[in-house]
Structure 1
Amino acid sequence: MSHPIALTIAGSDSGGGAGIQADLKSFSALGVYGASVITAVTAQNTRAVTAVELVSPAMVAAQIDAVFDDLDIRAVKIGMVGGVDVITTVSRHLRRVVALRPLAVVLDPVMVAKSGDALLADDAMEAMRSELLPLATILTPNLPEAARLLGCDPAQTPEDMAEQGQALRALGATHVLMKGGHAAGDICTDLLIGPEPLTLTAPRQQTRNTHGTGCSLSSAIAAGLAQGMHVTQAVNCAHHWLQGAIAAADDLSVGLGHGPVHHFHNIWDR
């Protein structure tokens, strides 16, 4: 039996908690084979990003061509893209693939690391809006990311979240998952806006070990889509899996800052 394959296009996190490393762990934890295209190399740990070096657009293109020439990729997660040239390269190559066969695309608009370090250049915002958003089966912004994409203040209420989600859909994304983790309150609410709407709630978990939550959620959604799930089913399954990964994060005790979630909480502790 062959396993479904998902591809992550993102940056490398040397600390292993986010980026390519978190994506591949998420795919594997959920029974999906993971391939990768690295767009940037970061020197980071649980406390800071100390250096970032972008991979050349030519090398990004070569990686995309290599994996699609050989692997039956059913879903793509796009994370850190860094700059305009890389965004243009990724969008151009994915458009060619989408024109030939169905492909689910999950776009996580990574802009800032958990440490607060910027991961997306200001001049890349318009390229992301115009070139990557129209490719997205589902866009997964947190509230500050959604606000930056729209050039407005972060949503404060579920009504604001729904309105901003619709505005992002108008830019081309088929579905938008507005993640409410940055909102105030003891309950976190995520809203899936689109043809298959969904509201997900969870108690706010008291842990500082949440490094890589956005990367892990978006890649878990991609894993579900690669397995043939509908968007609502993939989002629901990813949400509940991530809640378990956050709940078990303190068991890992990795690093001195914001540690990673426990991607293999359903496997290692059995």
Structure 2
Amino acid sequence: MRRVLTIAGSDSGGGAGIQADLKTFCAFGVYGMTAITAVTAQNTKGVDAIFPLPPSMVARQIESIMEDIGVDAVKTGMLFSEDIIRAVAQALCRWPVEYLVVDPVMVAKSKAVLLEERAIRTLVQELLPLAHVVTPNLEEASVLAGFPVQNLRDMEDAARRIREKGPRYVLVKGGHLPGNEVTDVLFDGKDFTYFSGPRIETPNTHGTGCTYSAAICALLALGYAVEEAVAEARRYMELVITHALPLGGGFGPTNHLAPLFLRAGLDPQEGGRCW
């Protein structure tokens, strides 16, 4: 079984972060492991509190996994602080991995800040050069590229600018653009690949960025090429958003195991036994 590590924050509401990543790994049949960077108190309405772990503890979690179990692919999510980013980068330099997916999480859907402003430079200088794929949304791409990303041409320009900072592939996600179609742009330093599909109208999209990057990471571990991994991850995202769960009073979570429930002939929103 392929081994996949997520380095991210814990979401007490279960829809994003470590919890979303593990559910996604299960859906793809890979063995998921975690290095928790911060504990959050949050629900579908927002983030109430963030408690970052000591950077040494984050690094030790990574090292413990590497020393014994090993990994086939790694993804990062919420890293929160400059010191945690540096500790993660140093650990990944000591234990190099072929496939590192960096989801540059900066702000939650509730607008809670998940990455300190002074940490952005450290993310760019120390982590992006290690990345196989980086997956910014429009807001994150704007910060990383240094200009507003407001249309498809901007997405292409941002992908070029971000790739100059070191990652092998840049996937700029277009979900925040208006319109009935959602287009993501993948850049490998030479060519652009475009992935488009109909917008699914639902407020229940908490954790979509975490889930998307976790799916790409799992598929890379399974041997998919990057273009194939993104295409397959998008198909997965269409299912988990279509069957998203109307829980709580804010942005409900996606339904990470919807494909398995459907295959078992069960209602994805009801769940239940499927083994």
Asked if these proteins are the same fold (TM beyond 0.5), I'd say: yes
Which of these residues, 101, 108, 111, is aligned with residue 103 of structure 2?
A: 108
Which residue does 1:96 correspond to in 2?
94
Which residue does 2:58 correspond to in 1?
60
User: Letter of the aligned partner of 1:255 in structure 2?
Assistant: G
Which residue does 1:170 correspond to in 2?
164
User: Letter of the aligned partner of 2:200 in structure 1?
Assistant: Q
In structure 2, C-alpha distance between the alignment counterparts of 1:115 and 1:142, rounded to whole Å: 15
CA contact (8 A) 1:245 1:262 kept: yes
In structure 1, C-alpha distance between the alignment counterparts of 2:154 and 2:102, rounded to whole Å: 21
Which residue does 1:237 correspond to in 2?
232
| Consecutive aligned runs of 4 or more in structure 1 exceeding 6 Å deviation | none
In structure 2, C-alpha distance between the alignment counterparts of 1:106 and 1:171, rounded to whole Å: 15
**Percent identity among equivalent residues?**
47
In structure 2, C-alpha distance between the alignment counterparts of 1:29 and 1:36, rounded to whole Å: 16
Any residues of structure 2 matched to 1:8-47 within 5 Å, and which? 8-47=6-45
In structure 2, C-alpha distance between the alignment counterparts of 1:68 and 1:103, rounded to whole Å: 13
TM-superposed deviation, 1:71: 1.2
Which residue does 1:152 correspond to in 2?
147
Give secondary structure in 2 for the equivalent of 1:185: coil
Which residue does 1:211 correspond to in 2?
206
In structure 1, C-alpha distance between the alignment counterparts of 2:228 and 2:199, rounded to whole Å: 22
User: Letter of the aligned partner of 2:38 in structure 1?
Assistant: A
User: Letter of the aligned partner of 1:80 in structure 2?
Assistant: M
CA contact (8 A) 1:134 1:172 kept: yes
Which residue does 2:178 correspond to in 1?
184
In structure 1, C-alpha distance between the alignment counterparts of 2:162 and 2:146, rounded to whole Å: 11
TM-superposed deviation, 1:13: 0.2
TM-superposed deviation, 1:268: 2.2
Which residue does 1:255 correspond to in 2?
248
Aligned length: 262
Which sections of structure 1, spanning at least 5 residues, go unmatched? Answer: none
CA contact (8 A) 1:79 1:108 kept: yes
CA RMSD in angstroms comes to: 1.0
User: Letter of the aligned partner of 1:263 in structure 2?
Assistant: H
Give secondary structure in 2 for the equivalent of 1:266: helix
In structure 2, C-alpha distance between the alignment counterparts of 1:50 and 1:156, rounded to whole Å: 30
In structure 1, C-alpha distance between the alignment counterparts of 2:193 and 2:243, rounded to whole Å: 25
Please give the TM-score of this superposition, normalised by the length of structure 1: 0.95
In structure 2, C-alpha distance between the alignment counterparts of 1:205 and 1:116, rounded to whole Å: 22
Please give the TM-score of this superposition, normalised by the length of structure 2: 0.93
CA contact (8 A) 1:197 1:232 kept: no
CA contact (8 A) 1:20 1:38 kept: yes
